[in-house]
Structure formats: C-alpha cells, structure tokens
Amino acid sequence: MGDRESLTSAELAEIAAKTIEHYNLNADSFFEGTRDHDVSQNIAALLKAIAGVGPHHILDFGCGPGRDLKAFRALGHHVIGLEGSTEAAAIARKFSGCEVLVQDFFNLQLPNNYFDGVFANASLFHIPKQLLPKVLLELFNTLKPAGILFSSNPRGENQEGWNGDRYGAYHDHETWQVFLKAAGFTEVDHFYRPPGLPREQQPWLASVWRK
C-alpha cells in the first residue's frame, strides 16, 4: 500500500467509482455480515457529547445498509442516512424506515447548521488525505454550533491506497488530530476498539469532536 501526496482528478474519480461499486455488488452480504455488530459504545459516545435534551437531529454519514440508522431511530432521534452505494441505501431505507441521501463522499451537498451530531462509523477512512480537509469542513459546516462529530476508522501508520476494490487511508491518533483541529474541531474524547483488549488487538480508532 503506497502513500500518494497528490492524486489526479481521474484517479479520484476512479477511487470513488470502484469503492462505491464494491459496496453495490456486496450490499446484501455486507448487510448480513455486519447487522449484528455491536457499536453501542460508539452510539453512546456521540449521544453523551451532544448538549441538551433530545431528540437530536443526526446524520449517519456512510450509513451502509442501515443498522445504526435503525438504532438511532429506536432511541427516538431524528436521523438521516447518507450513503454512496445506491444498493446499500435501498436496503437501509427498507430496514430502518429512515430517509437516506445518496451522495458521493467527495461531492457532498449538505445543509448548513442543521445537525446536532454526525455519526461517521467506518466511513471517513475512505477519504484520501488530500480531500479530507474539504470533507471535514463540510461536516463541520453541517453541524449546529457546538454540534458533535463522532468518527471510527481502522487505524494505521498514516498510509493510504487500495485494499482490494476499496480505497482507504489509515491514520494514527496524532495525525487524525491534526486534520480535525485544522477543520475547526475540538477533541472531546478518543478510545480504541473493541473494548477490553490489548492495544494490538484494537484495530479501530474512535474519536469525538465538538464544533
């Protein structure tokens, strides 16, 4: 896996197209393989950090087939999904009963100052680092003042590249902090997952940020 400083517009288009197509082709199996994953720790981390009494308006960024949409809705929140894969979005709508926007992560169209929280579980790592400042600023802008961004990504040594048909960027905590702070966020908390295991067996970096 390489580390590219600069990707061309054609390469970025290929990254978006191939990664989305992977999820289109594997939407059903991805749903079956992940629907029982316990991410209640992540959901709780987001909701704990949001000020005020709910129900809250939440964007599930990269909602996939809708597991977490359904969980947020069951808790009484107003939640909208955003997903690049049309196939996964269709499953998510049916499974959760929620609205799901179909948007390429590289070309977002989001309302300003609208959401109390953005839940980005296993999604932002698909953003090449050269586009990450742009995407983070768009998420910053779609949050209300003091709104909360939660992210969970597979951690790494700040490398990026293809992993099969999916493109990913894998940051350590220090580098992730640099990107988020540059976008205007203040860190609330971070932790590694799954809980209760030695660090080398915790491949996920979760973090909570306030606008």
Q: One digit per residue, pLDDT tens: the chain, 211 residues? A: 444 568 999 999 999 999 999 999 888 876 676 767 889 999 999 999 999 988 999 999 999 999 999 999 999 999 999 999 999 999 999 999 999 999 999 999 999 999 999 999 999 999 999 999 999 999 999 999 999 999 999 999 999 999 999 999 999 999 999 999 999 999 999 999 999 999 999 999 999 999 9
**At what angle are helices 9-25 and 86-96 packed, to 10 degrees?**
50
90/197 Cα distance (integer angstroms): 35
Give the helix/strand (H/E) hosting 96: helix 86-96
Residue 186, number of CB atoms within 10 A of its CB:
10
Domain 9-210 part of CATH 3.10.129.10: no
Phi, psi (deg, nearest 5) at residue 49 = -85, -20
DSSP state, residue 38? -
Q: What share of the chain is helix, strand, coil (3-state, %, to 5)?
A: 40, 25, 35
Judged on CB neighbours under 10 Å (0-12, 13-18, 19+), 157 is exposed
Per-residue buried b or exposed e for 69-86, using 16+ beta carbons within 10 Å of the residue's own CB = bbbbbeeebebbbbbbbe
In sequence order, the 6+-apart residues with CB closer than 8 A to the CB of 24 are: 85, 86, 87, 88
Report the alpha-carbon distance of residue 160 to residue 32 in Å, rounded: 27
Tokens representing 136 are: 């983070």
CA torsion 130→25→87→136, rounded to 10°? Answer: -10
**Amino acid 30: pLDDT:** 67
pTM value? 0.94
pLDDT at 31: 67
- Identify the DSSP state of 109: -
What tokens does 80 get? 């909208």
